[in-house]
Each structure stands twice: as structure tokens, then as C-alpha cells.
């Protein structure tokens, strides 16, 4: 079964996502900070990364996503960005943001379990 890396500083959210994903048979590994998540991605080469946008800094998730997508060894791993930026700032993302927001999908927090699983399945199929 696929290995999914969750990188988010919200410990409760990480646990909730982990329970949902493990209930469907996915192996889940976690990090609570962007650079640790990047190092874990290099070590484990997960099949998918779920990445928070706002962690240590307001844009750490964007920075980590950019770094992952520009690393030749990690660039093909699909990334799902989860964010509450829209709720906190009123900012919304569009196709014009693709140069900076190098991710395969983006979703607003909180994400419904069925939406999470649907996105994960779609990204994993696309990644293979």
C-alpha cells in the first residue's frame, strides 16, 4: 500500500488525517515542521505528501513544496497542500499562482474525510 507523508504543525489534525488514511490501508508517516518533512521525504520517498502551508512561517509550506518539486529525486511525488490561508486572510488561489505554488492539488482546511480520500486516490493514480 502507498506511503503518505503528512507535514503539518497541528498535531490534532495530523492524528485525525492519519486515522482516516490508515483506515483505508495507507502507511502514514508524519512531521510537524517543514524542514523535518523535507528530510523525511528524502529518507523515505513517500508516494504522496500532504503539506500544510502555514507552519513556522506563513509560507513555509510553499517553500517546502517548491524545494520538493525542484529536487530531481523528489519532484515526481504528488503534493496536496492543505491550508487555512483563505479563511485567515481572505486570499484565494488560482491557476495564475502556479509559478510559486508548485503543488499538484490544494484544499482548504478543514477537509472532509471523503474529499481527502478522493484527492489522495486521484493523486496517487496520477503519480503512478
Q: For residue 80, give the 3-state DSSP assignment.
A: strand
Residue 93 to residue 49: CA distance in whole angstroms: 19
| pLDDT of amino acid 59 | 84
Cell of 57: 512561517
- The answer, yes or no, to whether residue 53 has pLDDT greater than 80, is yes
Task: Give the DSSP letter string of 37-76.
Answer: HHHHHHHH--SEEEEES-SSSTTHHHHHHHHHHTSTTTTT
Report the mean per-residue pLDDT for the chain: 88
| pLDDT of amino acid 97 | 47
Q: Which domains are assigned to the chain?
A: 3-46+60-111 (3.40.50.2300)
| pLDDT of amino acid 88 | 47
pLDDT in tens, 66-113: 999 999 999 999 999 998 855 444 444 444 444 555 789 999 999 999
Q: Which of 59, 104, 66 is nearest to 83 (CA)?
A: 59
Amino acid at each position: 500500500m502507498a506511503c503518505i507523508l503528512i507535514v503539518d504543525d497541528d498535531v490534532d489534525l495530523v492524528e485525525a488525517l492519519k486515522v482516516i488514511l490508515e483506515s483505508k490501508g495507507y502507511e502514514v508517516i508524519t512531521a510537524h515542521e517543514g524542514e523535518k518533512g523535507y528530510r523525511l521525504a528524502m529518507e523515505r520517498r513517500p508516494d504522496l505528501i500532504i503539506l500544510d502551508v502555514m507552519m513556522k512561517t506563513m509560507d513555509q509550506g510553499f517553500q517546502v513544496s517548491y524545494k520538493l518539486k525542484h529536487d530531481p529525486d523528489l519532484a515526481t511525488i504528488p503534493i496536496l497542500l492543505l491550508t487555512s490561508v483563505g479563511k485567515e486572510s481572505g486570499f484565494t488561489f488560482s491557476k495564475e499562482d502556479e509559478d510559486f505554488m508548485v503543488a499538484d492539488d490544494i484544499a482548504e482546511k478543514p477537509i472532509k474525510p471523503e474529499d481527502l480520500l478522493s484527492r489522495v486516490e486521484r493523486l496517487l493514480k496520477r503519480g503512478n
